[in-house]
Chains A and B, each alone.
Chain A
C-alpha cells in the first residue's frame, strides 16, 4: 500500500511539473457554449459562427460596434436600386495557397442552400440575392428582386469557402479536410464537445494575430469557466456570470472588458386574442375581453416595472434599462425613446381609466435556463405587477419546452419573456421579427409571439426596408420604433452588457455581437 501511494503521489507531481507551460505566444480561450460543427454553412448558431470567424472571412466584416467594414470585399456600392457591385481584395490566399477570386464567392452562394439537413440554414442571408454576375476575377455584381438596403448586412453574415469545397459535406469540414478559409487562423483539430485548436495563418490578408497557437476550450459550466480563468488554465473567458462580476472586477489578476450589447430582453404580450389563456379575473376564470388588447393596460404594465432596481439588484449591473429595441449608438435608434420611468401610481390610474380599477389575474411565463438571470427577472416582475393590483403568478420552464409552447402554432402563453440579439446591428431586425404583423410569405413577424399588429408600423417598416438612402431609412426606422413603443407592441426591459474577463496582461476589444475572437485578444504592451 505504501509503495502504491508513493507511486501515485510521484505521478501527480511529475504530471504537474511536466505539464507544458504554454509559450507566451499561445492563447487558450474559455468558450461557454457547445460548437456543433466547423462547417460555416451548416447551422446558423452563434457558437458555430464564432469559431468559423477564426478560420473563414466574410466579404464584409463587422467591427466591435457591428458597423460594416471591408473584409474580402474592399468596397461595395449600389449602382442602381436593385444592383450592387462588390470589388474584391487582391492577393488573398486560402490556407492551402490557392488565390481568392470571385469564383469562390459564387461557390459559396451555391453551397449555402445546398448543405444537407441543416437545422437552421444560412439561406436567409443569401435569398436576398436574386442573381449574380461575375465581371472579372475581382468584381462581382448582385441583383436583388426589389430595392434591398440591407444587402450589405446580409452579405456580412455568411463566410466564404474555397470553390474546392462547393460540394464538400459537413463531415469534411469537421475533420479538417475542407476547412480551408482565408481567416486569421488555420484549422488544426476539432474535438467535438471539448476544444478546437487553431494555428496562426502567416499569410493572412489583415492585421497579423498576436497568437501562434490558439485553443478554444468549451467549458459550459459557469463556475468551472471562472475557476479555469483564476487558475490560469485559460487567459480569457466569455459570458461572465453576473454574480462573479463584482468579485472579478476587484481581482488584481483579472481585467474586465465590456460593452453594451445588441441583446434586448423584453416581454411579449398577447394582444391578438379576445380571450387569452392566462389573463383571468381574480378567481381564475379567463376574462371574456382580453385587457392586453388595450394599449393603456400594456402601458400600465410597463410603468409598474422598476427597471433600475432589476438592473442594480438582479443583474448586478450587467445590464442597462431599455426604452426601445436597441441601445444608443446603433443605426435607427430614436433618441426620444427613454426607458419608461417607474410609476406605480400612474400605472394604477391607467388601469382604472381602462376599466380595471381592481386589476385582474395574470400568469407570466419565461425560460429558466436561457438568458442571464431570466428566472430571477421574472420573479421580480411578478410582485411589481401585483403591487398595482394585478395578481400575478410566475411560471418558468426549460427553454426547449417553453419556446415550443410559446411559438406557432400553439401560442400557449399571454405574457412572455424573451430576448433578441440584433444580428444585423440595426433596428430593422427586431422591428421586423418581433413587432411586424406575422406574414409568412413576406418573412415578417417570425418571432412575434404575441401576434401584435399595427398597420402604421408595418407600413413604415416596409418603406424603410426598401429605402436605400441611409439617412432617410434611419428616420423611417426611428419613426416606426417610436410608434411601436408608444403603443407598447412589446415591453422593453433591459439591454445586456457583454462582459469578458481576461488575465492581467491581456485585453479584449469587447464586441456588441457577443463574439469572442482570438484575433481581437491583444497582449498588454
Chain B
C-alpha cells in the first residue's frame, strides 16, 4: 500500500510540472495581458511601464524559471489583475465552490440513490419509467438553460427563492459557510440543484443498473431462503455491492464539479473558483490560471487516490498493485 501511494505521488509531481509548462506556454501564445488590462486612453509609455511592472518584458523561459523558483517556496506569483498572491485568491474563493459542490453532491446522492433503487427494484412500474426518462433529460439538458429556467420559475414567477448570489455566511467549526444561515440555504438551493442534475442522472442510472445486476444473484436468493427480510437484504447486502462503482463515479464527478462549475457559477453569480478561472482566462491573468490548474490537478490526484483506497476497502477482491493501470 505504501509503495503504491508513494509511486502515485511521484507520478503526480511529474504531471504537475508538465502541466504548468503547457499552460505557461499556452497562455503566452494567446496574447499580451497588458493590452487587455490597460486603460484605453493610456499612452505607450504607460503600456511599457505596465509590461515591466508585471515582469512581461523578460523572455518566456526566464519568466518560467522565476515562476518555478517561487513555486518551490509556495509562492505561485501575484495575480496581474488583483495584485494579491494567486494562491491566496484561489483559496479565498474555494470555500464558496466547495460549499456548492458539496451541496450538489449531497443532493445528487440523497435523491439519486433512493430513486435509482426503486427503479431497479420495480423496473416496470410507471414511476420507475418516469424516473428513467427524467434521468435522460437530466444529463441531456444543457446546464445554463436549466439554470435560467430555474431562476425564471422559482425566482421571477413564483418569487420563492432569491435569483442570484451567495447568501449570508456564519462561522461553524471555524469555517465561514453560507450553509449555516437560512438566507444562505435559500441562495444555495437553486445553484446546487442545477449543478447536481448531471450527477443525479448518473447516480440514478448506476444505482438502477447495480440493483438489476445484483438482485438476481445467488447470494440474494440464499439470503431470502435463510429468512432475512427483504429490507435487510436490499439495504445492507445489495446496497454495499452497488456502492462500489458508485463511489468511483461520484469521486470523479466530484472532482470535475469542484474544478469546473463554471456555468452554474456564472449564471447564479456565485463567487467561486469556477468564475475566477473563466474571468482570468478572459483577462489573460496568467499567474491565476497556472495556480488554479495546479490546485485542480493536485485535487484530482488526491481524490483519485482516496477513491482507489476506498475501493479496495469496500471490495475485498481488489488488491492494490503498483503495476495496475489506473485511469
Residues of A within 8 A of B (CB): 1, 4, 11-16, 18-20, 34, 36-37, 42-45, 116-121, 123-124, 170-171, 191-195, 217-221, 223-225, 227-228, 230-233, 369, 398-401, 403-405, 407-408, 420-421, 423, 429, 433, 438, 440-441, 443-444, 446-447
> Which one of A1, A224, A447 lies within 8 Å of B267 (CB-CB)?
A224
Across the interface, do B271 and A124 meet the contact criterion of CB distance under 8 Å? Answer: no
- Residues of A contacting B40 in the complex (Cβ-Cβ under 8 angstroms): 420-421, 433, 447
Q: A346 to nearest B CB, angstroms?
A: 33
Query: Quick one: which of B75-103 are within 8 Å of A by CB?
Result: 78, 80-84, 89, 92-93
- Residues of A contacting B283 in the complex (Cβ-Cβ under 8 angstroms): 400
> Which one of A120, A220, A232, A398 lies within 8 Å of B37 (CB-CB)?
A120
> Which one of A36, A44, A217 lies within 8 Å of B82 (CB-CB)?
A36
Q: B49 to nearest A CB, angstroms?
A: 7
- A16 touching B282 in the complex, CB below 8 Å, given contacts A43-B37, A400-B31, A404-B30: no
Binds A, one of B7-15, B153-161, B218-226: B153-161
> Which one of A18, A43, A223 lies within 8 Å of B183 (CB-CB)?
A18
Q: Which residue of A lies closest to B46 (CB)?
A: A124
> Which size class do B's interface residues fall under?
35 or more
- A227 touching B110 in the complex, CB below 8 Å, given contacts A18-B182, A120-B39, A193-B275: no
A15 to B37, CA, bound (A): 41
Across the interface, do B30 and A400 meet the contact criterion of CB distance under 8 Å? Answer: yes
A423 to B41, CA, bound (A): 8
Query: Quick one: which of B119-173 are within 8 Å of A by CB?
Result: 148, 151-152, 155-156, 159-166
Does B312 count as interface, using CB distance less than 8 angstroms?
no
- Residues of A contacting B284 in the complex (Cβ-Cβ under 8 angstroms): 400, 404
- A400 touching B185 in the complex, CB below 8 Å, given contacts A124-B41, A224-B164: no
A20 to B283, CA, bound (A): 36
Return the CB mask of B2-40 against A: 1 if under 8 Å, else 0: 000000000000000000000000000011111111111
Across the interface, do A446 and B42 meet the contact criterion of CB distance under 8 Å? Answer: yes
Across the interface, do B30 and A408 meet the contact criterion of CB distance under 8 Å? Answer: no
A219 to B37, CA, bound (A): 20
Q: Which of B44, B78, B84, B189 has its CB near the most chain A CB atoms (within 10 A)? A: B44
- A227 touching B31 in the complex, CB below 8 Å, given contacts A16-B160, A117-B83, A400-B282: no
A116 to B114, CA, bound (A): 56
> Which one of B43, B160, B162, B281 lies within 8 Å of A233 (CB-CB)?
B162
Across the interface, do A227 and B44 meet the contact criterion of CB distance under 8 Å? Answer: no
- A407 touching B155 in the complex, CB below 8 Å, given contacts A12-B160, A120-B42: no
Q: A465 to nearest B CB, angstroms?
A: 13
Across the interface, do B50 and A12 meet the contact criterion of CB distance under 8 Å? Answer: no
> Which one of A1, A43, A224, A408 lies within 8 Å of B148 (CB-CB)?
A224
Across the interface, do B186 and A119 meet the contact criterion of CB distance under 8 Å? Answer: no
Across the interface, do B43 and A4 meet the contact criterion of CB distance under 8 Å? Answer: no
Q: Which residue of B lies closest to A447 (CB)?
A: B40
A118 to B35, CA, bound (A): 14
Q: Which residue of B lies closest to A418 (CB)?
A: B40
- Residues of B contacting A408 in the complex (Cβ-Cβ under 8 angstroms): 44
* Cross-chain pairs A/B with CB under 8 angstroms, 28 sampled: A12-B160, A12-B161, A15-B182, A15-B183, A15-B186, A16-B161, A118-B50, A119-B34, A119-B50, A119-B83, A121-B49, A124-B39, A170-B83, A192-B89, A192-B93, A193-B275, A217-B164, A217-B269, A221-B269, A223-B148, A224-B268, A227-B148, A228-B164, A230-B156, A403-B35, A433-B41, A438-B44, A440-B43
Across the interface, do A440 and B83 meet the contact criterion of CB distance under 8 Å? Answer: no
- Residues of A contacting B161 in the complex (Cβ-Cβ under 8 angstroms): 12, 15-16
- Residues of A contacting B47 in the complex (Cβ-Cβ under 8 angstroms): 446
Return the CB mask of B291-302 against A: 1 if under 8 Å, else 0: 000000000000
- A440 touching B45 in the complex, CB below 8 Å, given contacts A12-B161, A227-B156: yes
Rank and list the top 6 A-B pairs by shortest CB-CB distance, nearest first.
Answer: A404-B31, A15-B186, A443-B43, A194-B271, A44-B39, A193-B271
Across the interface, do A403 and B80 meet the contact criterion of CB distance under 8 Å? Answer: no
Q: Which residue of A lies closest to B189 (CB)?
A: A12
